[in-house]
């Protein structure tokens, strides 16, 4: 494991500081990242190769995998499902200590309990999913031809509730965290196997476009940080690889002090660059998750996860 390169030493506290200093820091961070992108000069190459393969998700995925293999020659591909901890040995050691007494353990039990409580009509979650909802996360999200939209697991949970006369859960709330943690736990050790039928291609392409499009005050795309600058440090955080981005949700983040889903992280990443957070499990983020999870095909599920 190679030590990460410190890219922007002074920009560690980008967000909890006075507005004027914040502005200066934003400019500094921007400058640092532009340098990083220039140094690596890879983002365009990757985009060129993926764009060359239009409407070919598998070619996109292989191009991304090849890119990360070259970027991290000493890291096993499968290790990227541990995010930044695959890259940084010091942070990995701290994280392994946290995982000895996983902070999400009680939440998984709570999820199991909630999952088994019948709805008012006597039905339950198990009635809405294949295999009664056990060990199914590797197939989410999928494209539903009848509804003509992408169905994420969290969205499916709410569709299930509404079908049986229950109110939908708050996507950022605790109950959704518990239930998805339990379902993720039963899917541990499975491998992502996302399928993109022809009818799903437009949604996949929208998600892919979102991933590569620059936005916000800092004018960054997801790819600016997680492709071009992957492995570099930003605000004392090591930037993780996207081929491990979908495997471990929901995640107990010490910073959040609770479980949060993938879309909470999307919101945070977008807000960090001065872009709009967008609605969790709205169409845009569901399409983004569809693209991103397809990029994770073949990776082992290890949710729920823990992160600092
Ligand atoms: C300014 C740089 C930046 C941009 C742009 C950015 N992120 Fe992040 N992202 C981070 C940092 C920093 C972290 C925390 C360290 C890490 O795990 O990479 C992070 C973490 C994540 C994680 C969690 C990784 C894990 O192992 O738990 C996901 C998923 C993610 N980002 C997805 C995205 C997506 C999708 C976009 C585009 C909408 C995006 N990010 C844009 C900086 C960025």
Nearest to 263 by CA among 244, 239, 287, 240: 287
CATH (residue range 105-185): 1.10.760.10
Could you tell me the end-to-end alpha-carbon distance of the chain, in angstroms, rounded to an integer? 20
Distance CA 86, CA 243 (A): 12
The domains spanning 9-100+194-307 and 105-185 adopt the same CATH topology? yes
Rounded to an integer, the average pLDDT of 230-244 is 95
Assigned CATH class of 9-100+194-307: mainly alpha
Distance CA 286, CA 282 (A): 6
Rounded to an integer, the average pLDDT of 288-292 is 98
List pLDDT tens digits, range 13-32. 333 334 444 454 454 455 44
- Tell me which H or E stretch contains 251: strand 251-253
Atom of ligand 1 nearest to the CA of 220: 5
Q: How far is the CA of 182 from the centre of ligand 1 (A)?
A: 24
Nearest to 287 by CA among 141, 78, 99, 70: 141
Residue 27 vs residue 128, higher pLDDT: 128
Distance CA 186, CA 125 (A): 14
Quick check: 100 pLDDT over 60? Answer: yes
Question: The tokens 């890119």 sit on which residue?
Answer: 67
The tokens of 20 are what?
């004027």
Q: What is the pLDDT of residue 54?
A: 83
Predicted TM-score (pTM) of the model is 0.89
Distance CA 220, CA 229 (A): 11
Tally of helices (H runs) and strands (E runs) in the chain: 11, 7
Rounded to an integer, the average pLDDT of 43-66 is 76
List pLDDT tens digits, range 200-222. 999 999 999 999 999 999 999 99
Distance CA 97, CA 293 (A): 28
- Active-site residues, by number, are 269
Using CA positions, which residue lies closest to atom 36 of ligand 1? 222
Q: What is the pLDDT of residue 46?
A: 60
CB atoms inside a 10 Å sphere around CB 296:
23
Going by their DSSP bridges, the two strands 258-260 and 149-151 should be labelled as: unpaired
The tokens of 207 are what?
């998600």
Phi/psi of residue 21, nearest 5 degrees:
-60, -40
- Tell me which H or E stretch contains 292: helix 283-295
Domain extents in the chain: 9-100+194-307, 105-185
Ligand 1-lining residues (CB < 6 angstroms) = 83-84, 220, 222, 224-226, 234, 237, 239-240, 245, 251, 262, 265-266, 269-270, 272-273, 288, 292, 307
> Treating both helix axes as pointing N-terminal to C-terminal, what angle do 43-52 and 57-71 enclose, rounded to 10 degrees?
160
Q: What is the pLDDT of residue 246?
A: 98
Distance CA 242, CA 240 (A): 7
Distance CA 112, CA 146 (A): 30
Quick check: 145 pLDDT over 90? Answer: yes
Q: How far is the CA of 240 from the centre of ligand 1 (A)?
A: 7
């Amino acid at each position: 494991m190679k030590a990460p390169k410190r890219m922007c030493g002074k920009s560690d506290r980008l967000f909890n500081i006075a507005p004027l200093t914040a502005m200066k820091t934003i400019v500094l961070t921007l400058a640092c990242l532009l340098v990083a992108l220039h140094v690596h000069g890879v983002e365009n190459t990757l985009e060129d190769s993926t764009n060359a393969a239009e409407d070919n998700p598998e070619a996109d995925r292989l191009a991304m995998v090849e890119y990360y293999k070259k970027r991290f020659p000493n890291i096993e591909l499968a290790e990227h499902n541990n995010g930044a901890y695959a890259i940084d040995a010091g942070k990995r050691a701290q994280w392994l200590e946290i995982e000895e007494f996983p902070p999400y353990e009680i939440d998984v039990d709570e999820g199991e309990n909630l999952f088994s409580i019948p709805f008012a009509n006597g039905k339950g979650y198990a009635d809405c999913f294949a295999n009664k909802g056990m060990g199914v996360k590797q197939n989410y999200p999928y494209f539903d031809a009848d509804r003509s939209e992408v169905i994420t697991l969290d969205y499916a949970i709410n569709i299930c509730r509404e079908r049986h006369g229950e109110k939908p859960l708050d996507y950022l709330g605790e109950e959704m965290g518990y239930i998805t943690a339990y379902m993720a736990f039963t899917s541990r050790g499975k491998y992502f196997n996302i399928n993109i039928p022809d009818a799903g291609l437009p949604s996949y392409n929208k998600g892919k476009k979102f991933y590569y499009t620059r936005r916000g005050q800092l004018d960054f795309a997801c790819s600016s940080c997680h492709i071009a600058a992957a492995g570099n440090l930003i605000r004392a955080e090591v930037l993780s690889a996207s081929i491990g981005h979908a495997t471990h949700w929901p995640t107990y983040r010490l910073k959040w002090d609770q479980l949060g889903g993938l879309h909470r992280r999307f919101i945070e990443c977008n807000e960090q660059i001065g872009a709009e957070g967008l609605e969790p499990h709205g169409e845009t983020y569901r399409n983004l998750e569809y693209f991103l999870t397809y990029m994770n095909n073949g990776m082992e599920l290890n949710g729920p996860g823990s992160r600092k």
